Amino acid sequence: MIILSLHTGYHDGTAALLDGYNLVAAVQLERLTRKKGDGGGIPEAAMDEVLAIAGLTRADVDVVVLSRASFPARYFKSNALKTAEYAFHKIIGHEKLKDMCTQMQQRGEGEPAKLFREEMFRADFGFKEGVKIAYSNHHMSHALSALFYTDWDDGLLYTADGCGDNVHYSHRVLKDGRLDCLFGGENMTLQPRRVDSLGLAYGFTTQALGYRMNRHEGKLTGLAAFGEPAQAAALGRHFNVDAAGVIWSDFDSDAAMRDEIHKLAKDAEPADMAASVQKVLEDTVLASVRAILKRHPVRRIGLAGGVFANVRLNRLLCEETDTDEVFVFPGMGDEGITVGGALQYLLERDGLDAWLKQRRRLSSVYLGRDYTADADQVLAANGALKRIDGNPADRAAELIASGKAGAIYDGRMEF
């Protein structure tokens, strides 16, 4: 069974292709457009790339899994006037995007299929008639990506990000052949969104220091090493962790959180502000994980979600929890929910027992196109290039030492 899984978010648009449980290809849109974090709408280029890698076309797909993110507005069922308006926007090339999860909330509808024009979607993108369309839960997808590529009998699956499907964190426990959701499940999709996201707080700090949210958070992680957490107490007092490990804040809106962080940043050196938000993140998430493990003792932790691109936090969770293993899914950002979304479909189709038996350790993250067979021929045909004789390693070292720049190609592109 060929499963095409798409993430249509405003950033990190991605496609993944699975043949049953086998991950065949996964490509983030930015790899093709050369725009970091590219997204917003349906990632057609990535979709066609993963299919081409497998030697397939859209007509070969059996199941399409969609994240509940951004789509052209015409794919949402609406009255005749709105339908005509959206059709006009398509004709003039100015289509509006609407977020599926937001549409679900506004309409009080928990079933995406009741909102989405599936037949139009199939026809527009050349999928065969009747191809199944499934929808993934953002944090469930993150969690399953961190579980499937393990062989654990027990484990805590902890996800955290800025926001996904109205949720900022999820906690799930695998134990005794059961996978139980403690927090952050589907029941929260239609509830009022909480104001407690440390991922968003980290993004607001990125913004306050003059960088771009959802792009430059890694710069703060590095900058934090050069500062002192002078504002950590002032920021940290807004967050707390209850006995169940749930993170809360006393902010009444995202805007209030943003304004407070910008205010604190004005009174601090950039490195100190970076160190401050880093400390708050570390202390709060560690307290949350410890509280969950106290109630639900397990020996392993699986992590996913954009917050866990923070390598210092990951190291702390390895060192400061009494566990045997910590696994972070390599596509921990929203690119990873394409893999997790397909795994969610398979879990719902096959049931937990069968799904768990299909697990395997992740053997590679090189899931893009492989040009090895064509590289020599293409390079040889370029008259402006010449082959350099000698031992490649020795000659490369000599050329670099003399001020030259080089590049290495070694198989498939990393996911």
**CATH code, domain carrying 220:** 3.30.420.40
How many structural domains comprise the chain?
2
Task: Indicate whether 117 and 217 sit together in one domain.
Answer: no
Residue 205 belongs to a domain: yes
Q: Are 297 and 193 contained in the same domain?
A: yes
Residue 258 resides in a domain:
yes
Residue 52 φ/ψ, nearest 5 degrees: -65, -40
Q: In whole angstroms, give the CA distance from residue 166 to residue 100.
A: 11
Q: In the predicted model, is pLDDT for residue 242 greater than 90?
A: yes
3 state DSSP class of 66: strand
C-alpha 151, offset from chain centre: 22
One domain, residues 104 and 167: no
Q: Provide the residue type at 239 as one letter.
A: F
pTM of the predicted model as reported, rounded to 2 decimal places:
0.94
Domain range for 66? 2-136
162 in the same domain as 85: no
295 lies in some domain: yes
pLDDT 10s digits, 5-21: 999 999 999 999 999 99
Residues 162 and 128 in one domain: no
CATH code at position 49: 3.30.420
36 and 131 co-located in one domain: yes
Within-domain flag for 89: yes
Does residue 165 form part of some domain?
yes
Choose the final residue of a domain: 136, 168, 191: 136
Kindly state whether residues 132 and 154 are assigned to the same domain: no
Contacts of 216 (CB under 8 A, 6+ apart): 206
Residue 344, domain member (yes or no): no
Give mean pLDDT, residues 292-312.
98
pLDDT digits (tens, 9 = 90+) for 370-392: 988 888 888 888 888 888 899 98
Q: What confidence tens digit (pLDDT) does each residue in 80-113 have? A: 888 888 888 888 888 899 999 999 999 999 999 9
User: Is there a single domain that holds both residue 92 and residue 154?
Assistant: no
Q: Are residues 227 and 128 located together in one domain of the fold?
A: no
Q: What is the mean pLDDT of residues 259-265?
A: 98
pLDDT, mean of residues 334-358: 98
- Chain-centroid distance of CA 33 in Å reads 18
Asked if residue 362 is part of any domain, the answer here is: no
3-class state of residue 71 by DSSP: strand
Q: Are residues 64 and 207 in the same domain?
A: no
